[in-house]
């Protein structure tokens, strides 16, 4: 590509992953940040960085699919090559997601396929796991279910709580997500019906040191 990768992001919350992505100063152009929450911190992060924003209210739409079509319509209109779900906490309509196959990634706070959905830190502690982690995966219609491309791991320490685990893991998320976006921007990581890294089909999740 003879121009920077155009990146759009969707976020529902405070936007620390979005902030880390922007702070990484990657050779990408952020074209839009969208949210389902008008007060999402991520929108303020984007505005501060001079990135256009859009927020739509799900209750203003008759159906979930109508909302998804509208929000993803904005994403498509932004000209984004890549869509990053950075703490976007809604399940997206399968047909709407299908149009972004291989062009959308999500960061999730667990070692997928363990612990999809919510309360991943609690689930990790309750299971007595020795390690926890974060995953970046290509988005499919299945919630937190698409092919995993990269993971970062942390040990579970004696005395860890949901809060301490979440805090330590967030530090890793903030490295992992920019590293994956950098790999996509450089062409090292691409999608051809499956994830390809450095010319070979990806057979196991990459670690931070691979990226």
Residue 129 carries which DSSP code? Answer: -
The pattern of x and - marking residues 58 through 97 that bind ligand GAR according to CB under 6 A reads ----------------------------xx----------
Residue 149, SS3 per DSSP: strand
State the nearest-atom distance from the C-beta of 33 to ligand GAR, in Å.
11
Strands 189-191 vs 148-155: parallel, antiparallel or unpaired: unpaired
121 is a contact residue toward ligand GAR (CB under 6 A): no
Please list every residue from 162 through 191 that binds ligand GAR, using CB under 6 A: 170, 173
The pattern of x and - marking residues 23 through 52 that bind ligand GAR according to CB under 6 A reads -------------------x----------
The answer to whether residues 189 and 149 touch, using CB atoms and an 8 Å cutoff, is yes
Residue 206 carries which DSSP code? Answer: B
Strands 148-155 vs 131-138: parallel, antiparallel or unpaired: antiparallel
Among 17, 78, 140, 151, binds ligand GAR (CB under 6 A): 17
For ligand GAR, the closer of residues 24 and 170 by Cβ is 170
The answer to whether residues 108 and 144 touch, using CB atoms and an 8 Å cutoff, is yes
Mind telling me the catalytic residues?
108
108 is a contact residue toward ligand GAR (CB under 6 A): yes
DSSP 55-88: E--GGGSSSHHHHHHHHHHHHHHTT-SEEEESS-
53 is a contact residue toward ligand GAR (CB under 6 A): no
State the nearest-atom distance from the C-beta of 144 to ligand GAR, in Å.
5
Q: Specify the stretch interacting with ligand GAR by CB under 6 A; choose among 14-22, 58-66, 76-84, 151-159.
A: 14-22
For ligand GAR, the closer of residues 54 and 107 by Cβ is 107
Cα 64 from Cα 154, distance rounded (Å):
36
16 is a contact residue toward ligand GAR (CB under 6 A): yes
Cα 46 from Cα 15, distance rounded (Å):
9
């Amino acid at each position: 590509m003879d121009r920077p990768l155009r990146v759009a992001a969707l976020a529902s919350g405070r936007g620390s992953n979005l902030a880390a992505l922007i702070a990484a100063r990657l050779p990408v152009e952020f074209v839009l940040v969208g949210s389902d929450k008008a007060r999402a911190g991520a929108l303020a992060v984007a505005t501060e960085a001079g990135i256009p924003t859009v927020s739509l209210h799900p209750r203003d739409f008759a159906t979930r699919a109508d909302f998804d079509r509208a929000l993803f319509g904005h994403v498509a209109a932004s000209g984004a090559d890549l869509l990053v779900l950075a703490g976007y906490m809604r399940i997206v309509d399968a047909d709407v997601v299908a149009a972004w196959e291989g062009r959308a990634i999500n960061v999730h706070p667990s070692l997928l396929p363990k612990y999809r959905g919510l309360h991943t830190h609690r689930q990790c502690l309750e299971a007595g796991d020795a390690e926890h982690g974060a995953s970046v995966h290509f988005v499919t219609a299945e919630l937190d279910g698409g092919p995993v491309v990269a993971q970062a791991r942390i040990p579970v320490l004696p005395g860890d709580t949901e809060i301490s685990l979440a805090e330590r893991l967030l530090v890793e998320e903030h490295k992992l997500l920019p590293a994956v976006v950098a790999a996509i921007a450089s062409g090292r990581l691409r999608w051809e019906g499956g994830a390809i890294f450095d010319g070979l089909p990806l057979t196991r999740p990459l670690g931070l040191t691979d990226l």
